[in-house]
Structures are given as structure tokens and as C-alpha cells.
Amino acid sequence: MLQTLPLVLYIIMIELTIGSVSVLVFLDWRNEVKRGFLVSYAFIYLALAGLTYLFQQNFATGELLNTYRSLDHSWTGWQTLPLLLFFVLLIPYTLFLLLDKKAGVDGKVEYEKAEDEAQKEGKPVPRRSILRGLRLLSGVATVIAGLVTLLVLGMIFRPLAGSIAGGAFTVAGFYAAAFALGGVMTAMWLGHWYLVTPALSERPLLFSTSVVLLAIIAQIIFLPLTGPTTSHANQASSSQPAVVASTPTPAPTQASSSQVKPAGQPVITPLDTGAISLLRILVSFVLPLILGGLSWKLVRDRSFQSATGMLYLVVVLTLAGEIMARGLFLMGL
């Protein structure tokens, strides 16, 4: 698992970044959050996207992925372009957000007032800002590039599934994980924003929390349909010769008298993959669904501070669960 740790972290970073940006653009499209929130976290996600691209260039290039025989090498060379395009398109989107002073819910309220006044006075309805159109256009293009990146990533790791149908659900699982991670991260940040602007409508936080719950439910559906991965079989088969070929070691000399484990004894891991899988189900699905449902109810009741605390826990659980899931997925690769 330590050998595949860079790949695990790379997958987590891609899912987190693309999911977070996608939910942020959706919130911008709905025009229900403050401009300050959109600008602040657009810059944060831009930095995270740049870090993800640098991580890919150092630890998950096509040449490095081609050293793993179980992956689909016909797709490894296509992951850099959409990821770079995702990062590059996020730059103008962030700049348009910064330049458009009428972005967010305040600009929407001003436009609706101007529209009502124009209709009452018989004047032409004012046009929406050109910056808004450019911002949303670049935002949609960024999301599309991110979704293509997830598709390429899923196709690279698709052969690890035990069947063709399992490979399709493996690809879909990358999308579900991205919206679960990114959705809860953006929802948690948005919950903090309600502490500054408590009069804000609960609809954007309710929307982002619903995205998280639907993504977790989709992961639960995809889990049995994906089936066991070939990496588990490779790990089991590779570990078998080590047991057969093990020979008693010679008696320790006086220089090795500080050895704690008796010579020739097998090394036993604290938890097997079955126990880790059950722990992953608890951490990734059961607890996040319970806490996410409580958060959704608290948002409906406009208890934003309590809902934000619940979302904190869901962030930790989903991150920990996804790390375990990807570690198990790539075990023995």
C-alpha cells in the first residue's frame, strides 16, 4: 500500500478538486450565495488545482503509470491535457468572478429590482452583465474539462475491475466519489459563511448537502456492482510464494540479540482486507449518511452552526473512507 500511496493521494486530490469546483460553479449558476464566498473559494480551489497538476506531473505521469501492467496504457497518455485544461480554464473563471461586482445573490437582487422598475415604467428590461455570461461560460467549460479528466482517470483504472460491467461502474464510482468529497467540502465552507451572513437563504447549503447525500447513495449502489478488483487477486497470488518459499533462518548471532520478533516467525498485519473493507463501509457510508441526514435536517431548521459542525465530521469521514477505498482498490497493483 505504501508503494501505491502517491497514486492514492493523486486520485483523492483529483476527486476533491474537481468535485469542489463543480459544486462551486453550480452554486454560482443558481445565484444564491454571496460574491465574497464565490471569489474566496475560487482562489482556494485554483491553488488546489495547480497543486493537483504539479502532483500529477511528478508522481502520476503516463510513463510512471505504464510501469503498472494492470492499467489501461491506451489512456495513460491522455490524462495530462484535460487536467491542465481544467486548471487553465479555472483562471479566467476566477478572474471574471473578481471583476464582476454584481456576481452572487446581491447582484441578482439588484437586477430583479431594476427589472421590476423597468416593467412598471415601460422601459426596456436591462440586460444582464457581459461578465456574468463570460464567467458562467468559463465555469461550465471548467466543469466539462474536469468531468473529462475523471473519465480518463476512470478508464485508466477500469481494468482493475473483475468484469466489463464492473469496469463501467468503476468509472461511475470516480464521479460519485468526486461529488461526495467536493460537495461536502464546499458545503462545509458554505456553512461557515452563514456565521457571517445568517440572513442568507438556506437553499444553497441545502442544495450542496443534498448533492453529498445523493453521491454517497450512488457509491453504495456502485459498490456491489463493481465487484472484486484484480489487484486483490494479484496481491493474494503474489503473497502466496512468499509463504511457500519461506525457510527457517539460522540461529541469531550475538550481534542480533536485540531482535524482538523471534526469527522465522511470519509477520501478521493487524487487520486483513476484509476488516478494512467493513471499516471503510462504516466510515464512508454509514456514518456520513447519518450525519449528513442530520445536517440536512438542521439546515432546514436554519440551525446553521450545528449543521456546520456535522459537516465537519462528514468531511473527515469521507476523506478517511476514500483513502481506505482507494488503498484497497490499488492493493497489489
Q: Is the pLDDT of residue 15 over 70?
A: yes
- Per-residue pLDDT at 241: 45
Q: Is the pLDDT of residue 113 over 70?
A: no
Q: Is the pLDDT of residue 255 over 50?
A: no
Q: Mean per-residue pLDDT for 176-200? A: 90
pLDDT digits (tens, 9 = 90+) for 76-93: 999 999 999 999 999 999
pLDDT digits (tens, 9 = 90+) for 27-53: 999 888 988 999 999 999 999 999 999
In order, the DSSP letters of 199-233 are: TS-SHHHHHHHHHHHHHHHHHHHHHHHH--BHHHH
Tell me 33's DSSP state. S
What's phi and psi for 50, nearest 5 deg? -65, -40
Q: How far apart are CA 34 and CA 225, in angstroms?
A: 40
- Angle of helix 130-157 relative to helix 5-30, nearest 10 degrees, comes to 150
pLDDT digits (tens, 9 = 90+) for 294-317: 999 999 999 999 999 999 999 999
Q: Is the pLDDT of residue 141 over 70?
A: yes
Query: All 3 cell numbers of residue 95?
Result: 478572474
Q: Is the pLDDT of residue 147 over 60?
A: yes
The confidence band for 130, taking pLDDT boundaries of 50, 70 and 90, is confident
The confidence band for 101, taking pLDDT boundaries of 50, 70 and 90, is confident
Domain 4-231+273-330, second-level architecture:
Up-down Bundle (1.20)
